[in-house]
């Protein structure tokens, strides 16, 4: 299985649980919640937490739009970089060389930040972009980007090659938002935020998509970011739900080579957007444990 360092979390990693929680939760307790950062440290556009290869957490729009912040294990934060004038990031990913990639929606770019120096350059710009929103990346450093046009509820799906070349995979979609690759890199998931649909594609070794089919359609609330865990479970953020909840959508079963739908369960983590801080949730597994691996380290809630 590739990409074993893929995050289980959306919008903040579950690794912080190890520092605050050491006892097993009651069986009837769905969530353990606490604020991780102080309030009002980020703008209302707080988005895209991601870890670098050293386990350092970065989050966009620290103090104001157009910045990247570093979040430390004790919840303290500091400014990492200012983006070029007019640029605002919405998603963070790291490539195999450790470079930070950012979806810069106002300027229709994918930016590259050389680490650890913080030098910013344009990795990909295409006049056909609406406003790149969310990113995911495979082991070949191919980047997949959602590209919504909020004014009319439409959207596109892109692949950006390691040389910065943009390839349009699909147009005429709904408001594309969350995008994620399965751990075996054989499936790509894309959701449409306004239409509340989650699409599943087959993904070949060259990064081409095919066999599009509907995975899930929700009756209410909007959709946002998505993440797969190492077992292939897909976690979908649903905004407007009133509790920042996430849903576990499906589990990839390698032996059957397909996705079987599971009963919807709330799970996960989310940004505490009203007060512009970070909050996380955790749902225990049946054995009362939550395990998260990142950059070769594992943290477990017992």
Neighbouring-strand partners of residue 180: 189
Ramachandran area for residue 76 (φ above 0: left; ψ -120 to 50: alpha; else beta) = beta
Determine whether 193 is exposed, middle or buried from the number of CB atoms within 10 Å of its CB (0-12, 13-18, 19+).
buried
Given a contact cutoff of 8 angstroms between Cβ atoms, the answer to whether 278 and 46 are in contact is: yes
pLDDT tens digits, the chain, 302 residues: what are they? 444 334 333 333 333 333 333 334 444 444 455 678 888 888 888 888 898 988 899 999 999 999 999 999 888 999 999 999 999 999 999 999 999 999 999 999 999 999 988 999 999 999 999 999 999 999 999 999 999 999 999 999 999 999 999 999 999 999 999 999 999 999 999 999 999 999 999 999 999 999 999 998 988 888 988 888 888 888 888 877 655 455 555 443 222 222 222 222 222 333 444 445 554 433 333 333 333 333 333 333 32
- Entry pTM: 0.75
Neighbouring-strand partners of residue 122: 111
Structure-block tokens of residue 266: 């709330």
- Residues 6 or more apart in contact with residue 222 via CB below 8 angstroms: 193, 194, 196, 238, 239, 240
Domains and CATH numbers, the chain: 14-301 (2.120.10.30)
């Amino acid at each position: 299985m590739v990409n074993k360092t893929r995050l289980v979390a959306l919008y903040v990693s579950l690794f912080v649980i190890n520092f605050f929680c050491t006892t097993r939760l009651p069986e009837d307790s769905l969530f353990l919640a606490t604020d991780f950062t102080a309030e009002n440290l980020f703008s209302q556009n707080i988005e895209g937490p991601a870890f670098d290869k050293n386990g350092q957490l970065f989050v966009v729009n620290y103090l104001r739009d157009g910045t990247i912040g570093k979040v430390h294990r004790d919840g303290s934060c500091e400014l990492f970089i200012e983006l070029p004038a007019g640029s605002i990031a919405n998603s963070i990913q790291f490539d195999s060389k450790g470079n930070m990639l950012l979806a810069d929606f106002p300027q229709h770019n994918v930016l590259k930040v050389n680490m650890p120096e913080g030098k910013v350059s344009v990795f990909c710009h295409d006049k056909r972009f609406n406003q790149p929103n969310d990113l995911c990346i495979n082991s070949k450093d191919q980047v997949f980007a959602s590209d919504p046009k909020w004014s009319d509820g439409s959207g596109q799906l892109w692949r950006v090659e390691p040389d910065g070349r943009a390839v349009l995979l699909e147009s005429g979609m709904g408001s594309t938002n969350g995008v994620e690759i399965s751990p075996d890199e054989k499936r790509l998931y894309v959701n449409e935020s306004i239409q509340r649909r989650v699409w599943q594609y087959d993904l070949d070794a060259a990064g081409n998509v095919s066999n599009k089919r509907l995975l899930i359609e929700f009756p209410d609330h909007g959709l946002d970011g998505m993440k797969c865990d190492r077992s292939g479970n897909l976690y979908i953020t649903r905004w407007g739900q009133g509790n920042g909840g996430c849903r576990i959508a499906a589990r990839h079963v390698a032996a059957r080579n397909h996705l079987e739908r599971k009963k919807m369960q709330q799970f996960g983590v989310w940004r505490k957007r009203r007060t512009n801080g970070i909050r996380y949730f955790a749902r225990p597994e049946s054995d009362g444990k939550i395990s998260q691996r990142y950059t070769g380290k594992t943290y477990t809630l017992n």
